[in-house]
């Protein structure tokens, strides 16, 4: 294997704008009479809601794997298609390449670390100021599961971040020169994989309960190292015949 060098760090910033109630569940550390069973995740230092980097990165990767036809074997996230585009961007398990008989997989395990760093998205200063001035950050949405035979309702109150709240987006994309490619593969994957994954999340949803209306978000004011950044138009290929 030739020389591997980190040649570029691209910082991507912007905001995540909540368009329908956003639910990323937390844990209830204490039991309270009439307390909420399904709270959202909050920063323990200031009780503000935030979006974990793991939640955003996981949704980006999952949607990208479906989009590019690179779903892990048996759905097991510990067994990704290591030779695929998404694996190079989002990361693969560590493995000694010399133990891998397949040449393509050897190259994949020699391609370096994950290219994408997704930081926790904290409450934006705009939304923090609005909250200090009396704006509501969250709501409790009551849902019911109804027995199809008896029509008995089982209420499920769930906390959600309300529409209009903004979170600060902060990502880092790393470009590595592997052997003699001068970083061209990673630069291509920035446009063809990373930006597509962001567009997929915006078109789909983030967090829990997306099929019931939760989690529609929009990326706003996207910038890459100070330059305006636009998301691509998604191209879906339909089989015929």
pTM for this structure? 0.88
CA distance 10 to 42: 28
Model pLDDT, residue 33: 37
Beta strands in the chain (DSSP E): 4-18, 116-118, 138-146, 153-161, 166-178, 217-224, 227-228
Q: Between 98 and 147, name the one with better pLDDT.
A: 147
Top mean-pLDDT range of 13-17, 74-78, 86-90, 175-179: 13-17
Above 50 in pLDDT, residue 182?
A: yes
Average pLDDT, the chain: 88
**pLDDT tens column, 36-73:** 558 899 999 999 999 999 999 999 999 999 999 999 88
C-alpha triplet 233, 235, 240: angle, nearest 5°: 160
Q: What percent of the chain has pLDDT over 90?
A: 64
User: Under 8 Å CB-to-CB from 23, ≥6 apart: which residues?
Assistant: 40, 158, 159, 160, 161, 207, 208, 209, 214, 215
User: Under 8 Å CB-to-CB from 57, ≥6 apart: which residues?
Assistant: 90, 116, 118
Above 80 in pLDDT, residue 32?
A: no
DSSP 181: S
Above 70 in pLDDT, residue 29?
A: no
- Residue 189 CB neighbour total at 10 angstroms: 20
CA distance 234 to 225: 24
**pLDDT tens column, 126-155:** 999 999 999 999 999 988 888 889 989 888
């Amino acid at each position: 294997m030739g020389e591997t060098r980190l040649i570029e760090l691209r910082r991507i910033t912007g905001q995540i704008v909540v368009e329908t109630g956003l639910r990323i569940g937390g844990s209830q550390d204490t039991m309270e009479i009439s307390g909420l069973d399904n709270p959202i995740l909050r920063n323990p230092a200031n009780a503000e809601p935030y979006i974990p980097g793991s939640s955003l990165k996981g949704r980006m990767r999952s949607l990208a794997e479906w989009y590019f036809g690179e779903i892990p074997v048996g759905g097991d996230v510990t067994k990704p298609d290591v030779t695929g585009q998404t694996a190079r961007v989002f990361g693969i398990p560590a493995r000694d390449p010399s133990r891998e008989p397949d040449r393509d997989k050897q190259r994949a395990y020699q391609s370096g670390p994950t290219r994408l760093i997704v930081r926790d998205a904290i409450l934006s200063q705009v939304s923090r100021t609005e909250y200090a001035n009396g704006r509501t950050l969250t709501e409790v949405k009551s849902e019911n599961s109804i027995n199809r035979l008896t029509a008995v309702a089982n209420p499920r109150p769930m906390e959600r971040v309300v529409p209009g709240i903004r979170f600060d987006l902060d990502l880092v994309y790393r470009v590595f020169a592997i052997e003699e490619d001068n970083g061209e593969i990673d630069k291509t994957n920035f446009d063809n994989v990373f930006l597509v994954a962001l567009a997929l999340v915006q078109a789909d949803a983030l967090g829990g309960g997306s099929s019931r209306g939760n989690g529609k978000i929009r990326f706003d004011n996207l910038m890459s190292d100070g330059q305006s950044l636009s998301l691509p138009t998604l191209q879906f290929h339909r089989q015929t015949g």
